[in-house]
Structure 1
Amino acid sequence: MYTGIVQTVASVASVTEHKGFRSFVIDIDPDHLEDLKIGGSVAIEGVCLSATVIEGSKVSFDAMTMTLERTNLSRLAPGMAVNVERSAKMSDENGGHPIAGHISCTAEIVALKTEEDGAFLRFRVPAEWSKYIFDRGFIAINGASLTVAEAEGQEFTVYLIPETLRQTTFRDYQPGDHVNIEVDHQTKVTVDVMERTLERLMPQYLGGR
């Protein structure tokens, strides 16, 4: 479990292709590696991955083909930057919202401004996921906990404070790029339960006409 508060931005040191998976070596600030062990969970661009090798500040992670297809990790190349968050402890303060690191979908950036004054990002999500995104609702984008400012149809907008710009990789993105989206779990459960309830009730209403 994660909080959606990105702890550091790290650099991709290398990428190695294997049959059925891809390995990433991420060079992470040692200050954020305390007590990390093999098998420990780390969110990379919002994707929950397990550490497979730790050599100094360089940590290796493997991503299966399914993960690469569902996320934007396939775009990563040496020298690129990624958002990093270690898994949360029960005693940690949660300044964001609970995040599992299980990506719902990717969203295309349709517009953005990354200057500090009035910075924003606007996205387009697949239609089947737009029903879980509401004005003032929580959403995780590349692992960062953010609040939806406006949502209409398949598009939604978030605004960014200077600290978010400083502490994340959003400055590196351009229109047309894709980001990882994790919809709020509680919102998803609520919407799904309401839909299923209405589906069960609808035949009764229709039969009574």
Structure 2
Amino acid sequence: MFTGIVQGVGQIVDIIDNDKLRTYQVKLPQALTANLTIGASVANDGCCLTITAFNGDVVTFDIMQETLALTTLGDKRVGDLVNIERSAKYGDEIGGHVMSGHISGVAKITNINKTATNCEMVLELPVKLVKYVLYKGFIGVDGASLTVGNIDNNCFSIHLIPETLSITTLSDKQVGDFVNIEIDSQTQAIVDTVERVLAQKQLTQ
């Protein structure tokens, strides 16, 4: 479980691509290296990955084909940066919203409007995910818990404060880039349940 509060930025230092499997190593910020264990979960750009090995501050992860196909991790290169969050512990403050680290899909950045105090991004979603995105609802963008702004067809906006920009990779994003999206699980459950109930009612009428 994760909270969507990015704790730091890691740098990819090595990538080995095999058949339907990518193994990569990430150099973590020193503050995030305490009590690392093999098998522990760490979110990389919002995607829950399992530690398979570590040496000091360099951590190894294996990424399966399904994850590579569904997320931006298949496009990463050595030297790229990723948002990092260690898994939450019971009793920790949930500063963002509860996130699983299971990516729903990717969104394309279609517009960025920066001012001295604010940054608005507009993202284009796959059509199948639009019904789960609600004004003022929660959404995970590259592992950061953010509030949904305006919605226009299959596009929505997010507003990033300077603090978020300073501790995540979102400040480096450009128009045309893709980001990982995690839909709020509670919203998805409600929408799917309502659709199922309505479909059953139609069948019985």
1:47–1:103 CA contact under 8 A, matched in 2: yes
Instruction: Tell me the residue number matched to 1:97.
Output: 97
Gaps of 5+ in 1: none
For the residue of structure 2 that corresponds to 1:131, the secondary structure is helix
1:6–1:144 CA contact under 8 A, matched in 2: yes
TM-score of the aligned structures, taking structure 1 as reference length:
0.95
- The 3 A distance-change label for structure 1 pair 114 and 18 is farther
Q: Which amino acid counterpart does residue 133 of structure 1 have in structure 2?
A: V
2:140 maps to 1:140 = yes
Residue-pair matches, total: 205
Instruction: Tell me the residue number matched to 2:11.
Output: 11
Instruction: Tell me the residue number matched to 1:197.
Output: 197
Higher Rg of the two aligned structures? 1
Q: Which amino acid counterpart does residue 134 of structure 2 have in structure 1?
A: F
Distance 2:114 2:14 in 1: 27
Distance 1:102 1:116 in 2: 33
Distance 1:172 1:96 in 2: 22
Instruction: Tell me the residue number matched to 2:187.
Output: 187
Aligned-pair identity (%): 40
Higher mean alpha-carbon deviation, 62-71 vs 105-114, is at 105-114
Gaps of 5+ in 2: none
Q: CA deviation at 1:95?
A: 0.3
2:24 maps to 1:24 = yes
For the residue of structure 2 that corresponds to 1:190, the secondary structure is helix
Distance 2:96 2:116 in 1: 21
Q: CA deviation at 1:116?
A: 4.2
- The aligned runs of 1:8-157 (5 Å cut-off) are 8-157=8-157
Distance 1:107 1:8 in 2: 22
Q: CA deviation at 1:114?
A: 4.6
1:116–1:165 CA contact under 8 A, matched in 2: no
